Structure 1
Amino acid sequence: MKWFKRLLYTMLICVVLGGATVGGLYLYVKPELPSVETLRDVRWQTPMQVFTADGKLISQFGEKRRIPIKLEDVPQPLIDAFLATEDSRFYEHFGVDPIGVMRAFSVLITTGEVQQGASTITMQLARNFFLTFERALMRKIKESFIAVHIEQQLSKDEILELYLNKITFGHRAHGIGAAAQVYYGKELHELTLAQMATLAGLPKAPSNLNPISNPQASKERRRVVLLRMLDENKITRTQFDEAANAPVTARRHGAEVTVSAPYLAEMVRQEMVDRFGEEEAYTGGYNVYTTVKSDVQLAARQAVWDNLHSYDERHGYRGPISILWSEEEGQEALPQEEIEQYLEQLKRIGDVTPAVVTGVEEQTATVMVKGAGAVTLPWESMHWAREYLNEERQGEPPETASDIMQPGHVIWLRTVNEQWRLAQIPEPSSAIASLRPDDGAVAAVVGGYSFTLSQYNRALQAERQVGSNIKPLIYSAAFDKGLTLATLVNDAPINQWNPGSGIAWRPKNSPEVYEGPIRLRKGLAKSKNVVSVRLIREVGVEKVADHIAKFGLNRDNIPENESLSLGSLSMTPMEVARAYAVFANGGFLVEPYFISKIEDMDANTVYEADPVRACYDCEKPAPQIISEQNAFLVEQAMNSAVWGGGSWPNGTGWNGTSWRIQRSKPITQEVGRNIAGKTGTTNDVRDTWFSGFTSGLATTTWVGFDDVSRKLGRTSKHPEVDSSQQAITGGEAGAKTALPGWILFMEKAIPEYPAREFSIPPGVVNVRIDLETGKLSRKNDYTSRFEYFIKGTEPTEYVRGDSNNDDIFEDEGGLF
């Protein structure tokens, strides 16, 4: 009895001392304990995601990958895996598990070292949010007190949800939602039991137990998790055996990007950083919706790729990337396994994939393609490959496959109509900028062939001389002064002597064909250079420069000399597209924008675009910089650049510089004749342009070398490849180099942006004129046509049968 009383007193003393110790420790650390109330309103560091207008992911920005989830969205087997492994008594304890503490304490007494942490899920949550991972007794004490506080503030389900969203899984995956995506590219409900067990085993040591970097250790850890689930009766023996023996299937997955638009994504990233700052933009969990439709953006990218490859093929083949072995030098071929390992190290770039030539026959070749294995290349896939000599010359056409490639050559391939084709990374670059004319929303933007090769966004940053793309703006200035589509200007050579420099300025047409007196409609449609020079002289250089500045350009950057008529002004493709949108929308200058909406991580809209619009009676009208009538006249002249004029049966028919659009059935079937465009080529063909529009879309394409000193050159006819009438040979130019890419894009884009018929605005009259003189005509044959005039500018005199033309506009100095 005495022994029992002593034991009871001893236990009572221990309880009192223990309680006093715990109380004393609490008072000691209380000033350092953080408030756990913040957990009720925790703000996850979630990456920014960028989407197309139709909700497809373009890109993700942020160091930490996190996909916040609700507990009800987590499969029960995954919850069971975590609880069985980390805290089987989670729903029973008060934040600290006394049994676990006693077990850890006994190990400490017997070994003298802290080997077991006895951490519950709540304690781990406390550590992850408020403490460090230092293995120290005081940290453990603080952790316990915070855990108890958490249990008092939150429910068990709230604690478990926070824990699953907070823990780190390696490879920058934070939270179980991101882990499932990073390691398996899946949603949580798509995971297998083996994959769930693998993820549940990771928090203990994400680096050492990683299934990607250390699959064997991960497999052993997975078995431990499954055994715990089996012990807790959460799975059956059959399920255990199947999951424990499953192969390790983890591999690193990026965000599920479904639309590759890196130049657009970078534009959004920069805009978001400017709006919110770098830290907030990358971690605030914003969802940014752009103005582009996924199919249209992908069509723009493909158009740039296909057009540049077409240029590259007609200029010749520059040879293999490298040579792995040479049979001519007696070197043996590499085994297949080594070839595949070599190809794995090479990246796909743009539209091309690396491959290694393993065999060559008379007119075929066998190649090992990255990700596709052995492939046979037919002759039609390589016979374009004349030797590249320079931008101006190509070698003789090949006759056999061995003239092009040899075993051991490392080459590029691309797919055309589901067939592999010999390719190379194009040397020139290109850009597309496309806008909705009614409000400036970006429909598509491509800044180059490959963002991997160059992050320079040529659509927004490349200021290049625009060549004849400037002419519609000059004609607009002329119409402002009262000139008309029927005004005659002398299309004749100019030879102007400059006494100061001692040099004569001789602007020339391209090609050097002169037609004498020519109507302005035809002058713009056929891009007559000397006509533009004479228009600038009539209107005045300063007034023309002032007029051009209205289209959103910096007046200080516009040259005040006659070279402006030939396109010496530098603009970006986006600036050109914006300017042409003015003609498409009736004279309004809209502001290009590419973000339509921004949502925070709770799906609350924090920004929604409210652009100015091309309208008279809406809430936010854009500034009208030219009259609706002026815009219509320019549109008409550019329409003739596509459709030409005259009468072919009577020998007076003619084509404008944009006639190739007529061949595009997808475009003509969609919009009929309601389309307008203008080519642009600079001196020595360093820059080529095509800009055009329907009422629903204004688009500019540019092609040129980044090195402004390089010319795009010319090509000779390839007797085997260039058999079709559409083959492009001779000197490169806007009509041959940039226009094909524009057509490829617009064929896909126009159906997404329905176009209206070109309509005659108020204040425009339509009268029949004589095609030769521009005067009124009573004839109803091929010598006349109906022409549009701003009311009050139409001719008043009828042509006389024997009349000489006295109304040709000339310079002050007369004809040169």
Structure 2
Amino acid sequence: MGDTPRKSTASKTTRKRAPAKAPASKKRTATKKPVARRGRPSKKPQKPPFFKRVFKYFFWFNFVSFFVALPLAAASFYYLTVYPSLPEVSELKEVTYQVPLRIVTQDDKLITEIGTKKRVPLEYHEIPERMTQAIIAAEDENFFEHGGVDFKGLARAVYHLVTTGEKKSGGSTITMQVARNFFLTKEKTYLRKLNEIVLSYKIENELSKQEIMALYLNKIFLGYRSYGVAAAAQTYYGKELSELDINEYAMIAGLPKAPSAYNPIRNAARAKLRRDYVLRRMNELNFITDEEMQKGLAVDVHAELHGPIIEVEADYVAEQARAFVLERFGEEALQNGLTIVTTLDSALQKRATSSIREGLQDYERRHGYRGAIQNVDSALLNDTEMLLQLMQDTTNYGDLLVAAVTGFNKGEPKILIENGDTAQLQFTDMKWAAEYISVNRKKYAPKSAKDILKVGDLIYVQKLDKRWQLAQDPLAESALISMDSNSGRILALVGGYDYFRSKFNRATQGKRQVGSNIKPFLYSAALNEGMTAATTINDAPVVFHDRNLEDYWRPENYSGQYYGPTRLRKALALSRNLVSIRLMQRISINTAVDYFKNFGFPASELNAHKNLSLSLGAVELTPEQVARGYATFSNGGYLIEPYLIDEVRDFNGDLLYKADPKKVCKSASCQGQNNAPRVIEERNAYIMSSIMQDVIAYGSGKRARALKREDIAGKTGTTNDQKDAWFSGFNPNITTTVWFGFDKPSTLGRYEVGGRAALPIWMDYMQLALQNQPNQPLQMPSGIVQIPVSKETGLAVTPDNPDALYEIFREERAPEIPKVSTRQIETLTDELFD
């Protein structure tokens, strides 16, 4: 069985065997021969027809030509169409930067800057070398070698684009950035990049490297509205560019790449990384030593936001200056780098501001304490950071700061001030703080500080006499204007307690009843009508029924008393109301109104109050108008025009505007110039000034005697119910007016007359204003004589009369002195009776 053949299990389908592989060493090398198709003889290959060959050549020629011509056509289109439209690089030599409007005092102290962009353009030679080196290290190390384009940088940018598909780095040089910043947009397109490259070559051909660098450093945006490195130095460090340290130059040089991302105020950690990178690059380029680099790297980020370095607070003046330049030069004035030189004296402006604020605080201290701003709980007192934030968020004006009472030490309050300082208030400085009830009432005087304050109180404090004292935000307001009497130049102007509390300029816009400040003009009118300083008017009760006035009018003196016949000199010095009313009656209302116009008072205001109440100052005038009128007495009879803008200069310092004020001319040498017109006689002005000196010598302004000046004169003014308080005064060169009151007219309280509320402010200011003025008696003009008159009757008497005093008269108005003396009359009488 074993030899029996086995049956195949394969299917009946026959399998084909695979051909055996030829041995590796015996490969076939026979070539394939063409095999003729059965039934057809073999033929040789035929060439394509002629027309096919022509078509083929034509196709390939056009194909190649298209890809060659396309770039040529694009280039031709660019150079024929786009290139001519590119800006001329020569424009860069005439570039003007958007520079803020600067407003300064006469002595070049900065009041403010106004504009949307902060910029301080510098010439290349004014830019510190360290700044240039830092920028080169950060932005373009080959700046002084390449011709405007860094091809290595471009290659890196292309490689990054090809490998990542992202447009991250444009490979821009400083020159390319100048082209973009001055002429192109920041959109990332290939056409813009091409324009940027072409413009860069044009710039390099027409400008020096130094000019290009200066353009860049003045134009580049560096955050917080700051354009250019000089502006950035002030914004982040409050310094001039030349005053920065190496680490600060490196910080600014790191900003152009991404001002927001590397902002040292918003992102100090990231800004430090960028700054340190710039410092290391400066070291690698041998701009700084290893030691300088390490020193810079060790400095912490210390940038803080700084505004313009304001040297003088005069915001009311700044607004007037802004309005002036806009009207004269248009909106572009705010970005063309103009400088407005005002007439202000910086020292006097500072004193005017402090005098107003201290005068208002004095008023507050006279009327009591209205209480703390609020009281905070003990939990907040224990969180100093949160407490400081709360205080800094609390509104405060003027020189007031917010403070928190954190405890008591031996009965006196300990305070934390919003600036982080700590201090202790003294009870002796707080005794004024009895609780306020009304302008005429306050509670009992406090016996200790705990009667006034408690722990957790948020309060206002101010620094006086080198120590912190309790204060409060005043409800009343005040204004001051001071001018050169002989030209109208405004030396100081304060329109209120704080411009940012109220932008209403009370010095130039606030029309208020002037009260007795009108009386010198009425008395001057009387002199003009032939009266004298010795003329007597009866100071007695009177009742008027005037159709221009409602009902009956029973005016009275402030004291409520009456003194009978009174000389005009004495009546004005003591501000007797009944004398003023009868005086206007005697010369007539129409005569008085016409005369008042000589002092520049608006006819519309005078005509609106054309009745006897005008004699007591019912007319509404601004402090500026009042001061202008008093300046006429000060300068000897001339009407000047107050002015605030002296010069306007462009960015290069060229003069665009120069004031040409009308000035007082008293000598032949100035005749024919722009002279102020004479509006009252010189002798009239002198007599009125002499009378107003008695206001200070023994009258309603006698507190001013403390100045110990022989050349000052002035007049108080108070309206009904003490709603407005005034003092206007002068010497031969400076006139100053102060107003005091509430914006919404209401009583200031009993006794708050001009001599109490306004005069101290005037005195504090004039003490400085007159510091360098000669202290000598007023110069008497020719045509004035002195005659002895009776104190009681004003009639001329002999010099030996015990009742006599000397009065000044115009020669033609002087009374005759009796020929027989009082002593002679007594002797003759005795002899007769003997």
**Matched letter for residue 91 of structure 2:** T
| Cα distance in 2 for residues equivalent to 1:347 and 1:320 | 13
Stretch of structure 1 that moved more, 453-462 or 781-790:
781-790
Q: What is the deviation of 1:209?
A: 1.1
Tell me which of 108, 119, 126 is aligned to 2:161: 108
Distance of 1:549 and 1:98 partners within structure 2: 79
Q: Which amino acid aligns with 2:199?
A: I
Partner of 1:713: 749
CA separation of 1:781 and 1:95: change in aligned 2, threshold 3 A: farther
Q: Are 2:550 and 1:464 aligned?
A: no
Choose 583-592 or 76-85, whichever is displaced more. 76-85
CA shift for structure 1 position 24: 5.4
Aligned length: 752
Give the alignment's Cα RMSD to 1 decimal. Answer: 2.2
Within 2, Cα distance between the matches of 1:454 and 1:547?
36
- Write out per-residue CA displacement over residues 5-61 of structure 1, whole angstroms, 9 at most, x where no aligned residue: xxxxxxxxx999989865654334214311221111111111111112222111111
Q: Deviations over 1:777-800 (max 9, x none)?
A: 213365212211122111136399
Question: Which residue matches 1:180?
Answer: 233
Partner of 2:21: none
Deviations 1:471-518 (A, max 9, x none): 001011111100100101111111234589894321111112221111
Task: List aligned pairs for 1:250-649, cutoff 5 A.
Answer: 250-278=303-331, 280-325=332-377, 333-346=381-394, 348-361=396-409, 363-497=411-545, 503-558=551-606, 559-616=609-666, 617=668, 618=670, 619-643=673-697
Give CA deviations for 1:434-493 in whole Å, capped at 9, x if unaligned: 111010110111011111211111001100000000000101111110010010111111
CA distance in 2, matches of 1:786, 1:140: 92
Match of 1:152 among 193, 205, 210: 205
Query: Is residue 776–residue 799 contact of structure 1 (8 Å, CA) maintained in 2?
Result: no
Per-residue deviation, 1:378: 1.2
More deviation in 435-444 or 17-26? 17-26
Structure 2 residue 702 is the aligned partner of structure 1 residue 702: no
- d(CA) in 1 for partners of 2:545 and 2:164? 102
CA distance in 1, matches of 2:273, 2:801: 90
**Which secondary structure does the structure 1 equivalent of 2:812 belong to?**
coil
Distance 1:572 1:167 in 2: 47
Say whether 1:788 aligns with 2:808.
yes
Amino acid at match of 2:105: T
Post-superposition CA distance 1:273-304 (Å, at most 9, x none): 111112x2211211222222111111101110
Amino acid at match of 2:554: R
Q: Provide the rounded CA distance (Å) in 2 between the counterparts of 1:447 and 1:333.
A: 38
Higher relative contact order (CA closer than 8 Å, sequence separation 6+) = 1
Looking at structure 2, the residues matched to 171 and 640 of structure 1 have their Cα atoms a distance apart, in angstroms, of 58
1:768 aligns with 2:788: yes
- Give the direction of change, closer, same or farther, for the CA distance of 1:367–1:781 in structure 2 (3 Å limit): farther
State the distance in 2 between where 1:42 and 1:154 align. 13
Distance in 2 separating the partners of 1:384 and 1:500: 45
Shift of 1:417: 0.5
Question: Structure 2, unaligned stretches of length 5 or more?
Answer: 1-66, 823-834
Moved more, 178-187 or 224-233: 224-233
Say whether residues 1:685 and 2:722 are aligned partners. yes
Match of residue 40, structure 1, among 64, 69, 93: 93
Larger radius of gyration: 2
- TM-superposed deviation, 1:423: 0.3
> 8 Å contact 2:555–2:577 — kept in the other structure?
yes
Where do 5+ consecutive residues of structure 1 fail to align? 1-13, 644-654, 715-730, 803-816
Map Cα deviations across residues 293-330 of structure 1 (whole Å, 9 max, x no partner): 1111111011101111000011000000111127xxxx
For the residues of structure 1 that align with 2:688 and 2:811, how far apart are their CA atoms?
16
What is the DSSP-based 3-state SS (H/G/I as helix, E as strand, rest coil) of the residue aligned with 2:351?
Answer: helix
CA contact (8 A) 2:392 2:402 kept: no
> Equivalent residue of 2:677, what SS?
coil
Q: Is 1:779 the counterpart of 2:796 in the alignment?
A: no
- Deviation by residue 1:612-668 (Cα, 9 ceiling, x = unmatched): 01114421111111111111111111011111xxxxxxxxxxx21111111x2xx31
What one-letter code is carried by the residue in structure 2 that aligns with 1:156?
K
Indicate how the Cα distance of structure 1 residues 469 and 518 shifts in structure 2: closer, same or farther if over 3 A, else same: same
Contact residue 630 and residue 735 of structure 2 kept, 8 A: yes
Report deviation, 1:609. Answer: 2.0
Q: What displacement does 1:332 show? A: 7.5
The whole-number CA distance in structure 1 between the counterparts of 2:815 and 2:675 is: 34
For the 8 Å contact 2:480–2:494, the answer to whether it is kept is yes
The aligned amino acid for 1:763 is G
Quickly say closer, same or farther: Cα 1:608–1:499, change in 2 above 3 A.
closer
CA contact (8 A) 1:26 1:145 kept: no
Distance 2:140 2:410 in 1: 69
Aligned residue number for residue 8 of structure 1: none
Judging changes above 3 Å, is the alpha-carbon distance between structure 1 residues 302 and 501 closer, same or farther for their aligned structure 2 residues?
Answer: closer
Secondary structure of the residue that 1:389 maps to in structure 2? Answer: strand
Work out whether residues 489 and 643 of structure 2, in 8 Å CA contact, stay in contact via their aligned partners in 1. Answer: yes
Normalized against structure 2, the TM-score is what? Answer: 0.87
- Residue of 743, 746, 750 corresponding to 2:770: 750
Partner Cα distance (2:680, 2:150) in 1: 78
Question: Structure 2 CA distance, aligned partners of 1:658 and 1:232?
Answer: 74
CA-CA distance at 1:107 after TM superposition: 2.3
How far does residue 572 in structure 1 lie from its aligned partner after superposition?
A: 0.6
Q: Select between 549-558 and 528-537 the one with higher mean Cα deviation.
A: 549-558
Q: Distance in 1 between matches of 2:579 and 2:289?
A: 87
Matched, 1:56 2:109: yes
Any idea what SS the aligned residue of 1:460 has?
A: coil
Cα distance in 1, alignment partners of residues 204 and 441 from structure 2:
79
User: The residue matched to 2:599 in structure 1 has which SS?
Assistant: coil
1:72 deviates by 1.2
- Taking the aligned partners of 1:501 and 1:23, their CA distance within structure 2 comes to 90
Look up the equivalent residue of 2:195 and give its one-letter code: K
- What is the match of residue 737 of structure 1? 757
CA contact (8 A) 1:48 1:284 kept: yes
Matched, 1:91 2:144: yes
- Partners of 2:572 and 2:794 in 1: how far apart? 15
The Cα shift of 1:235 comes to 2.0
C-alpha separation in 2, matches of 1:249 and 1:754: 50
Contact 1:357 1:407 in 2 (8 A): yes
Q: Is the 8 A contact 2:516 2:716 kept in 1?
A: yes
TM-score by length of 1: 0.89
Equivalent residue number for residue 189 of structure 1: 242
- Deviation of 1:245 after TM superposition, in Å, equals 2.7
